[in-house]
Structure 1
Amino acid sequence: MTDKVFDNNQVSIAGEVVGDFIFSHDVFGEGFYILEVSVNRLSNSYDIIPLMVSERLMDIKKDYKGKNIEVTGQFRSYNRHEDNKNRLVLSVFVREVTVCDEDYESSKPNYIFLDGYICKQPIYRKTPLGREIADILLAVNRPYGKSDYIPCICWGRNARFAESFTVGGHIQVWGRIQSREYQKKVTDADFEKRVAYEVSVSKLEYIEE
């Protein structure tokens, strides 16, 4: 299969491994594991990005915590059924991985490009401080009739631009993957801390069909 198949979903991530391999699933005898990586932001904070790694790419018995790695791949989604609901689970599906030197600095530590179609009407709003935001759910096609559903968030002029989009619109976005903690209400009295992942959009183009 040529790389052209993957042109509509491109990710590059570089950061420090902060966890152990956690088994996810296997396909025809090939095991896949979740590995979390901490990626620095310019604002001196960081994002924790989950990677989906094949046991054929990395030695899953080895401890990589504290090591710097760089990966390329795709941002993928699947629906996990829990509490009688489907929950969208996102991770970077790793196609190539390199273990880097301690002082290595990547030119693309957190980069994503997506080419897809709007599958829900974008939601435009303003924060209490007046910051403009628009949420987009983007369907990105995959081989064999599958699609990944990627939440994207736009800011400022891009948010106003996105407000005019309609379902089925074809767009391209560039940006970075970010993690965000939130509180999920599980009972009337209890909340559970969860992490959501989304694409923070820095550049946005509408493709005329």
Structure 2
Amino acid sequence: MEHIVNQIILTGNLAGAPRYSHENHGRRFYAFPLEVERLSGTTDTLPVLAPLELLEQTPAAGGDTLCVTGQIRSYNNREPEGRRLVISVLAETMTLCSAAHDNRAELLGTICRAPVYRRTPLGREICDVMLAVNRPYRRADYLPCILWGRTAQEAAELPVGTQLALTGRLQSREYIKMLGTTAERRTAYEISAISAEPVRE
């Protein structure tokens, strides 16, 4: 049996009305943005998917604080310009609450691409890691992760195929994508790791 670890807890403010996304196995899913503030004061706007029945159980208005638990999911969106990895949080539970903002993710996955080690213009060490995280029925989510400092140094030496247990937060980052002669502002989502340990069998 596959060992699956993919959990996220978010507490933040509803930043827009849920909009119909898709239907799967007879269930209708809706997407909405959740604004989650970091300790630094920066706000991440994170995409959440929730089934209709969960939304009906939790009637919320813009600005309300929601506590959401679920999993981080990915799929490839095929566009004329090429494939794009789309990341979202699939909500399993959702309640209205008054708690402080929170953002905690726990993952167990396999490194599926050679880690990329680099330094920021300010000299911070970063390692980009793509984790394949098991899902039921022999499927997987491909989740981009960022590791920092000493953890980044250690991850840079890990071979493809290494299992990694990671804790961190899901964050958003804006960037500019050049499409021919035009520039388009896009948002990327990635897990910023607090800790990451290779799993020895």
> When the two structures are superposed, what TM-score results if normalisation uses the length of structure 2?
0.95
In structure 2, the residue matched to 1:207 is 199
Are residues 1:196 and 2:184 paired? no
- In structure 2, C-alpha distance between the alignment counterparts of 1:50 and 1:91, rounded to whole Å: 5
Are 1:27 and 2:27 matched, yes or no? no
What does residue 74 of structure 1 align with?
71
Which letter maps to 1:197? Y
In 2, Cα distance between equivalents of 1:86 and 1:28:
25
Note the C-alpha offset of 1:84. 4.8
Task: Quote the offset at 1:71 in angstroms.
Answer: 0.6
Tell me, in whole angstroms, the C-alpha distance in 2 between the residues paired with 1:63 and 1:186: 38
The match for 2:135 among 132, 136, 142 is: 142
1:118 aligns with 2:108: no
CA-to-partner distance for each residue in 1:139-170, whole Å, 9 max, x for gaps?
A: 00000011000000011001001111111001
Residue-pair matches, total: 201
Q: Which amino acid aligns with 1:133?
A: I
Partner of 1:165: 158
What is the alpha-carbon root mean square deviation over aligned residues? 1.9
Q: Write the distance in 1 (CA, Å) between the matches of 2:152 and 2:80.
A: 33
- Of residues 95, 100, 103, the one that matches 1:98 is 95
Letter in 1 for 2:83: N
The alpha carbon displacement at 1:34 in A equals 0.8
Bigger Cα displacement from structure 2, 138-147 vs 27-36:
27-36
Pairwise CA distance, 1:117: 0.1
Q: Distance in 1 between matches of 2:79 and 2:128?
A: 24
Distance 2:5 2:148 in 1: 22
* Structure 1 spans left out of the alignment, 5+ residues: none
Identity over aligned residues, as a percent?
42
Structure 1 residue 185 corresponds to structure 2 residue 182:
no
- Corresponding residue for residue 47 of structure 2: 50
2:5 pairs with one of 8, 11, 22: 8
- In 2, Cα distance between the equivalents of 1:48 and 1:197? 9
Amino acid at match of 1:83: P
1:126 and 1:96 map into 2 onto residues whose CA distance is 38
From the superposition, tell whether residues 40 and 199 of structure 1 become closer, same or farther in structure 2 (CA, over 3 Å). same
Distance in 2, matches of 1:16 and 1:198, equals 20
SS of alignment partner, residue 116 of structure 1 = strand
Q: Alpha-carbon deviation of 1:27?
A: 1.2
**Cα offset, 1:6, TM superposition:** 8.1
Task: Kindly indicate which of the two structures has a greater share of residues assigned to strand.
Answer: 2
TM-score of the pair, normalised by structure 1: 0.91
Gaps of 5+ in 2: none
